[in-house]
Structure 1
Amino acid sequence: MAPSRQRNIELFNKLNVLRILAAFNIGGGVMVKSNKIVPADMLEAIESCYQRCAEHVDEFASQMDSQPAPASVYHYTNSTGLLGILESGKVRLTDIFGLNDPSELRHGVNHACEILAAEALKDHSAAKLFAEKFIRVMGGGVQESAHFFVACFSCDGDDLGQWRAYGDNGRGFALGFGGGLIEKAFVNVDERGYGNAGFPVTYNDALLRKMHQLLVREVLPLIGMPFSRNLSDAATNEFMKELSIHLSVCVIRAAIFFKHEAYKNEQEYRFLQIREVNLPVDDLKHRTWGYSLIRFAEFDWKTRDQHALREIVIGPAANENDARLFARNCLLAGGFDPEKVIVRQSKIPYRSN
């Protein structure tokens, strides 16, 4: 496995339990091993459960890491975006909750909440209370667990749906990058302690549900432990908090690899940056979406590997001669040699409205 691709597993190991869920206020301000009121063997049981849960996610993440980066990845945009990306040499990393799919990360988290609620009805009476608490926490706080920023690329540089959605209704452009080159440039960046990773998005709801079922079933046997030991209410609450934290980390970690099946045609290759909640965000900028402000960071790919840019695809509804000239002028404006970047027209027969 190439060093630059060993980051999907490392990503959430770096963002440890307390850090990623600090905003939930369910960690008690201490790591689980230093908890004074929960018996040590019960804390060890949580740690063992967490390790088993992490192994389930690691198995899937390892499959992602074992896949080579695609030969090319494409970023769809309009004429303004093309000029901006080439002149600045930067691609936006957008707040994941401001993307085209409003559920995004919540899509995966909701699966886990539904499974936990269903399983809780079959288990110890305390499991229902645990499930209700976990669902409240995840439903209301997942956006505050950490800062998630993504740059969305596609393995398909000529997809009709993406021309319509992101390529100015077929009049825009798709920038084609060498997949391995741009991923290496992104993953090797580790500014301010951020976690960067690149991986293909998976569109398989059944697989995600299966993974979350494994996680929930690992946790359920532990929920009755405080009651069988006649612990105090304070100790029981602390135990439930710690168990919630550990389950939450694995649920979020699994969800990050998936997207709703409705977007399968996009063949997304995702560049993900996760920032801990306590890290500064003074570098962030904003763009408008209706009456909303969407946060974004910037990935300076040009400084790190200018040669990652391989081609520009012209949208199927664009005037080819005008678009070729425009693309050439944009390349010159960005300091690129137009003779070293392929410019070609989409092969899709398409007429915009």
Structure 2
Amino acid sequence: MLIKRYFRPRKNDLIYHYCSAETFHSICTNNTVRFSDLFSMNDFLEIHWGYQIWQKAANEIFDEVTEEFLNKVDEIISGSSLSFNFLASCFSLEGDVLSQWRAYADDGNGYCIGFDARHILGLPSTPLKVLYDEKKQIAEIIDILRKIYKFESEAKEDERYGKDFFEICALLSADLTSFKNPAFKEEKEVRLIHILTFEESNTYLKLVDKGGTYFGEDYDGQEVKFRMAKNLPIPYIDFNFINKNGDNPIKEVILGPKNDSRLTAIAVYLETLGIPNVKLRNSTASYR
């Protein structure tokens, strides 16, 4: 839906993932990146912020469309949590930002991994550049709503609000996950979204990965796993990032401002694991 914000990297562009030492070790030894439930991300408004933007856009466009149309869209967006579960893997366009060291890399003790951007987009996901400007967020949703309304208005009466309408609005609800509070704009985030679906299971529901395109080839999905955050189970999937040619996308590693490891030790570690020719450097951020 938000074609203008699809992340389209150039050759040799990197995107960065800040993490603790434990997560760094897990990524390097397992060759995986984790897609985790958006509801469990650090910003408690991850999902709710996007819904608030949708409400503001709907109010602004109220006189241009019918109330029935807006209600139909809202039914799908507000009910999306009962139909879909959004997983995300979060990256940044910047690899050495103090606020991110503090928030995502064990208060500066961790690492930041620079991945080959084109390579990592081979994972089954929708890559979106996060938008932080509230006015632009509202304008984007209004533009999409106008297009959906025009499409539905031109459809035959018995074909309105059918399968196509549901799928478009479901995509819209996914796109809302790439809106964030302006307070986070320094992060310059690129968010990779992967969608799980709910299926009936006995008298309840279960999460299912329906698959997608994995390095240019179709795959049937994989097992959904969980981790515990205090007493709450959080769904996730770890995707292997080694492509069929055996290429590893890790190209750079930055040590956090409080990370006292020697660069030579990390170089030996990576080479021993079979991750070759990685550029290594220390953070230039002053933080002790």
Shared fold (TM-score, shorter chain, > 0.5):
yes
Q: CA deviation at 1:181?
A: 2.6
1:309 equivalent to 2:250? Answer yes
CA distance in 2, matches of 1:313, 1:293: 31
1:294 equivalent to 2:234? Answer yes
Q: CA deviation at 1:207?
A: 1.8
RMSD: 3.4
Normalised by the length of structure 1, the TM-score is: 0.63
Q: What is the aligned partner in structure 2 of residue 228 from structure 1? A: none
- Unpaired runs of 5+ residues, structure 2, are 200-206, 210-221
- What is the SS of the residue equivalent to 1:302? coil
Classify 1:216/1:269 alpha carbon distance in 2 versus 1 (closer, same or farther; 3 Å): closer
Q: What is the aligned partner in structure 2 of residue 41 from structure 1? A: none
Classify 1:112/1:86 alpha carbon distance in 2 versus 1 (closer, same or farther; 3 Å): same
Q: CA deviation at 1:113?
A: 2.5
Number of aligned pairs? 266
CA distance in 2, matches of 1:66, 1:303: 19
Question: Which digits, 9 at most, give the CA deviation of each residue in 1:145-196, with x for residues without a partner?
Answer: 323222111111111111001111001111112222322x32xxxxxxxx52
Classify 1:244/1:335 alpha carbon distance in 2 versus 1 (closer, same or farther; 3 Å): closer
Normalised by the length of structure 2, the TM-score is: 0.76
Aligned residues with identical type, % of pairs = 23
- What is the SS of the residue equivalent to 2:242? helix
Classify 1:335/1:255 alpha carbon distance in 2 versus 1 (closer, same or farther; 3 Å): same
Q: Radius of gyration: which is bigger?
A: 1
CA distance in 2, matches of 1:294, 1:167: 20
- What is the SS of the residue equivalent to 2:248? helix
- What is the SS of the residue equivalent to 1:116? helix
Give the helix-richer structure, 1 or 2: 1
Letter in 2 for 1:207: K
Alignment of 1:129-140 (within 5 A): 131=70, 134-135=73-74, 137-139=76-78
Question: Aligned to 1:335, which of 274, 277, 280?
Answer: 274
Question: In the alignment, is the contact (CA less than 8 A) between 1:215 and 1:250 conserved in 2?
Answer: no
CA distance in 2, matches of 1:180, 1:246: 27
Question: In the alignment, is the contact (CA less than 8 A) between 1:77 and 1:168 conserved in 2?
Answer: yes
Question: In the alignment, is the contact (CA less than 8 A) between 2:77 and 2:173 conserved in 1?
Answer: no
1:245 equivalent to 2:187? Answer no
Q: CA deviation at 1:336?
A: 3.1
Question: Aligned to 1:318, which of 239, 259, 262?
Answer: 259
Classify 1:65/1:320 alpha carbon distance in 2 versus 1 (closer, same or farther; 3 Å): closer
CA distance in 1, matches of 2:16, 2:151: 46
Question: Which digits, 9 at most, give the CA deviation of each residue in 1:264-319, with x for residues without a partner?
Answer: 11111222222444583461222222332211101101355543111211100122
Question: Which digits, 9 at most, give the CA deviation of each residue in 1:230-258, with x for residues without a partner?
Answer: x9xxx8xx956779736623532542443
